[in-house]
Structure 1
Amino acid sequence: MPSIYFGPLPAECLLDEALHITVHGLRPGQQITLRALSAGAEGTVLASHASFHAATTGDVDLARDAPVSGDYTGVDAMGLFWSRSSQPASAVPFSDRCADDPMAVLLVIESESAEPVTHAFRRRYFDDSVAMRKVREAGVVGSLFEPKAPGRRPALLVVGGSGGGVQWSAEMAALLASHGYVALALAYFGIEGLPPTLDRIPLEYFDNALGWLAQQEKVDPDRIAVSGASRGGELALLLASTFPSIRAVVAYVASGIVWPAYPPSGHSAWTMDGKDVPNADVMPLEEWNLAVSQGRVEPDSFDWYFIPLQDEAVVDATSIRVENINGPVLLISAQDDKIWPSAALSEFAMTRFERKGFNHPVEHLSYPGAGHSLGWPNVSTMSTRFKHPVSGEDQDLGGSPVGTARAREDSWRKMLAFLRNNL
């Protein structure tokens, strides 16, 4: 064993697992730099670093010690993970030792008195205790994740947002299965054989998927929940208010108001019995530009959502009937969301719960400083700009890296507790 060494660390772990990173064999006050590296897009790595002074006990403990410099500040056991940013591999020390696998992480200890010490490990969304299979049967398209251990379990239908496909929902479903649930990541557009965009998606499609999920051998049909994010969060509330087989809801950065197709088509995003589900709409572009030029609205505000919702008749017609939900609800929103005002839009649901005397537990976790990108913890939150995969628009997720990281960590723990207690 080298004179400087890491405390015990796994060779593999789940992605949402918080690690206890410690360094030993140091002189009191000795300075070291810790780095975390993983493979990025071609020619880049995701990398972070932080420097520490050893305690009088001759060690550094990331759960106890704040860095004296680096990519994050304050005590944060997993700060090296969320503060990783995309950098040219040529500019990052030790990038040549980084595996090509983006799920592999290389930890490095640098000091002036010794050779660098490394520890490589792999993070996973699910391990060998979970089985995954792609599903294209009985009108259901997606991926099913289920624990291999025998016995019936609670289950979740997981739906993504306006990006389509199953990337977000499959990653979420895999992690949920790793915590003991059967989880179906359901595609509903953006995959071969399904509509190309979020436009007039029949709610009956999801009812069919719920029925299929309830029939699976390891599923307890009386304990099925739905989880979704963004437009999928809107969808989760809409499905639960429509189909009583859903017994709990987790809705990330959602809306209590129904919105139109995306990209806009003049229709609703959803249909029921062949008819558009009534939806609100944002201010028309011409009207918005006129209001901006006249100084009646702030150009970087969400007034283009809020002004139409000042009409009580519009709100009443387009509000999701959340009072019909047959179980507890957890809403998770971001107060610095730049995609849409998820905190305020979630409050429309909260107001309706209260006004209608909803008789199940409901909670709204709303995080200051957080952006639209909420979900599981320990992923990089440094980049907030992205190109929307369907519309091609350049968009800003909002939030600060630390604010979003903190929201992910706190909400993930509370979300798992919500499911344990209510499902």
Structure 2
Amino acid sequence: MVNRSIPLLIGACLLLAGCSSGGSGHVAVTVDRADALADQAVHLKVTGVPAGKPVQIGAEAVDRKGKKWHGEATFTADGRGTVDLDHAKPSGGSYQAVDGMGLFWSLDPEDGDPDVQVFVPPLENGRPVEHLDVFVTRKGKRVAATTLTRRWMADGVTTKALTMARDKLTGLYIAPKPDAGKHPAVLLLGGSEGGVPATLSAVQLASHGYPVLALAYFHAPGVPDELRNIPIEYLASGARWLARQPGVDPGRVVVIGTSYGTEAALLVADHFPELIHGTVLFAPGATATSSYPRPDGYAWTYQGKPVEFVPIPVDGVNGPVLAVAGSDDLLWESRLSAQRIMRELDDAHLRDPHEAVVVQGAGHVVGGAPYLPLGTAEIHPLTGERMELGGTRAADESALLQGWTKTLALLAGL
């Protein structure tokens, strides 16, 4: 997209991170940071619109497969001819409430069912980067535009694959830019999809300075194909390996689990409190469940014995606990599980802070970083079945933002 600057705006643009204009008078898009980490909010304004007149503000980006995603909303300019996305409510479009980052997460793919698609950013030099074109349209004509760059990996972040043959673990270690300090670190556990979990979330945590071991415990090379008889001791081995890495403070290792991974997180936190010093649970389960995808056995073992289908004890848990759930989760009762875990922590008289965040209208998609287009259903990678996850995209986004903000605060507070 070619931007044609207007001389009268050059001085203003020099003071801002991003600014461009089309051929319609003084209409311009300004942004405080044109190049930022993907989980950092930016502040967009459109100026120079006739006061009180409607204007469409849209965004477009291309994903890793080359598919274009698009979102757009209509606003009314204020008395100064400005639309400030942090404060303006759209009258229609891809999102409905006041949300300065609404255009970022409400993009839809150009074809296919948006409910089962996820925007995966392209790679540049092996690093995920999104280029988002933001544009202004009046009377069917595009009159201003600018391009934002969203990065998932900060400079200096490195990755290392772990193999069972070499490391006795399967996963990915993501290290922040090295310095002289010792930092909190994260043992990251995914859900029923198996494999190495949530790589985008892992690299974003590392971009904030926290080393991450994204640990695969089934459906990956060297580990079982199914979620069946997974030893809790294997998860503890991951925590021990992580604690030994340069730049990691072994007294500040946090386990983060999503969906089925919350059972694993609670079990390793309760059985190995000397290794785990904080626990974050997204869409949690409070009871050990059966094997998956064939529910004819046990998911977990401890000391060679199956973990029975009973509530997971929490009296051994060490450090702060955060649980995030949606009120409309259609996969399981994560809201009730989050509340139950908090009651059991209260009953155990544990003094470390613990909090359940239940977001009204959110579904199962509550874990990870915000500002990325996500669906409310999925085609499960193991079974090929469509699974309705519940919630709305707007409510899920609220849960993601709250959970991510509180997770970063928990890590910073250790």
1:197 is aligned, of 226, 229, 233, to 226
Q: What pairs with 1:15-414 in structure 2 (closer than 5 Å)?
A: 15-40=38-63, 44-88=67-111, 103-112=130-139, 115-136=142-163, 137-150=166-179, 151-168=181-198, 170-244=199-273, 245-279=275-309, 318-375=310-367, 376-381=369-374, 383-414=375-406
**1:87 is matched by which residue type in structure 2?**
E
Q: Deviations over 1:71-125 (max 9, x none)?
A: 2223110111222122339xxxxxxxx9998833221111239643222233222
SS in 2 for 1:246: coil
Q: Identity over aligned residues, as a percent? A: 34
Q: Partners in 2 of 1:175 and 1:43 — Cα distance?
A: 23
Q: Partners in 2 of 1:321 and 1:104 — Cα distance?
A: 46
Q: Partners in 1 of 2:65 and 2:153 — Cα distance?
A: 25
How far residue 331 of structure 1 moved from its aligned partner, in angstroms, is: 0.8
SS in 1 for 2:278: strand
Alpha-carbon spacing, 1:167–1:247, altered in 2? closer, same or farther (3 Å): closer
**1:185 is matched by which residue type in structure 2?**
A
Partner residue in 2 for 1:293: none
Q: Which runs of 5+ in 1 are unaligned?
A: 90-97, 280-317
SS in 2 for 1:326: coil
Q: Is the 8 A contact 2:29 2:135 kept in 1?
A: no
| The 10-residue stretch of structure 1 (247-256 or 186-195) with the greater mean CA deviation from structure 2 | 186-195
Q: Partners in 1 of 2:246 and 2:407 — Cα distance?
A: 25
SS in 2 for 1:369: coil
Partner residue in 2 for 1:286: none
Q: Give the total of aligned pairs.
A: 374
Q: Deviations over 1:157-184 (max 9, x none)?
A: 001001011242x222211112221111
SS in 1 for 2:409: helix
Q: Partners in 2 of 1:396 and 1:274 — Cα distance?
A: 35
Q: Which 4+ stretches in 1 moved above 4 angstroms?
A: 40-44, 98-102
Q: Partners in 1 of 2:233 and 2:325 — Cα distance?
A: 27
Q: Is the 8 A contact 1:255 1:348 kept in 2?
A: no
Q: Partners in 2 of 1:337 and 1:113 — Cα distance?
A: 40
Q: Deviations over 1:312-337 (max 9, x none)?
A: xxxxxx12111101111111111100
Q: Is the 8 A contact 1:39 1:100 kept in 2?
A: no
Q: Partners in 1 of 2:88 and 2:385 — Cα distance?
A: 41
How far residue 44 of structure 1 moved from its aligned partner, in angstroms, is: 4.5
Q: Is the 8 A contact 2:36 2:149 kept in 1?
A: yes
Partner residue in 2 for 1:306: none
SS in 2 for 1:325: coil
SS in 2 for 1:408: helix
Q: Partners in 2 of 1:397 and 1:122 — Cα distance?
A: 30
**1:16 is matched by which residue type in structure 2?**
D
Q: Partners in 2 of 1:41 and 1:359 — Cα distance?
A: 46
How far residue 51 of structure 1 moved from its aligned partner, in angstroms, is: 1.2
**1:124 is matched by which residue type in structure 2?**
R
How far residue 33 of structure 1 moved from its aligned partner, in angstroms, is: 0.8
How far residue 156 of structure 1 moved from its aligned partner, in angstroms, is: 0.8
SS in 2 for 1:32: strand
Q: Partners in 2 of 1:233 and 1:81 — Cα distance?
A: 28
Q: Is the 8 A contact 2:177 2:209 kept in 1?
A: no
Q: Is the 8 A contact 2:232 2:264 kept in 1?
A: no
Q: Partners in 1 of 2:213 and 2:63 — Cα distance?
A: 28
Q: Partners in 2 of 1:100 and 1:152 — Cα distance?
A: 30
Q: Is the 8 A contact 1:215 1:221 kept in 2?
A: yes
SS in 1 for 2:383: coil
**1:394 is matched by which residue type in structure 2?**
R
